Amino acid sequence: MDFEVSKADGSLFILRSGEQLMFVLVYVDDIIVTGNDSQAVDQFVSQLNARFSLKDLGKLNYFLGIEVQYTAEGVYLLQTKYIQDLLCKASMDQSNSLPTPMVTNYHLSAIDGIPINDEHQYRNIVGTLQYVVITRPDITYSVNNVC
């Protein structure tokens, strides 16, 4: 259908036709379709629906753990539920917050301290935190350190 695969993300397809621009983001069986021509977007979705069984969920509200909120100022992306679920999984949902995500002069060491009990859980939580930095770039330094 003349879409090109994005060089930045293999799951993002882009269609440029004159002034028309359309984006299709595909992740397994979840798809986001958007563009600057709503009629072209509707036509594309109809073409997809003719070939595949689609369920149109309407305006984007939630995708892969990212909440989408629309305001007069623009679109906001949040991961509140995703982060709350992570805190529960790590048994940290009752922890107190701090004004800074990590003390900057603290040095982590692979040889000092007490070894963790479950390194699989640690890796899983750290991997999940890497996804959180999409909407929380302020924790990138801390996440990079624990990686």
pLDDT 10s digits, 40-99: 999 999 999 999 888 888 889 998 889 999 999 999 999 999 999 999 998 899 988 877
Q: In the block, which residue shows the tokens 């999409």? A: 134
87, 88, 90, 94: CA torsion to nearest 10: 70
Co-location of 135 and 82 in the same domain: yes
The pLDDT value recorded for residue 77 is 92
Co-location of 84 and 25 in the same domain: no
In a domain, 68, yes or no: no
User: Is residue 32 within 8 Å of 41, Cβ to Cβ?
Assistant: no
Which range of residues forms the domain containing residue 20? Answer: 4-58
Its pTM stands at: 0.69
Burial state string for 62-80 with b = 16 or more CB within 10 A and e = fewer than 16: eeebbbeeeeeeeeeeebe
In a domain, 63, yes or no: no
Q: In the block, which residue shows the tokens 């695969």? A: 5
In a domain, 65, yes or no: no
Co-location of 142 and 79 in the same domain: yes
The pLDDT value recorded for residue 12 is 96
17: how many CB neighbours lie within 10 A of its CB? 10
- Total domains present in the chain: 2
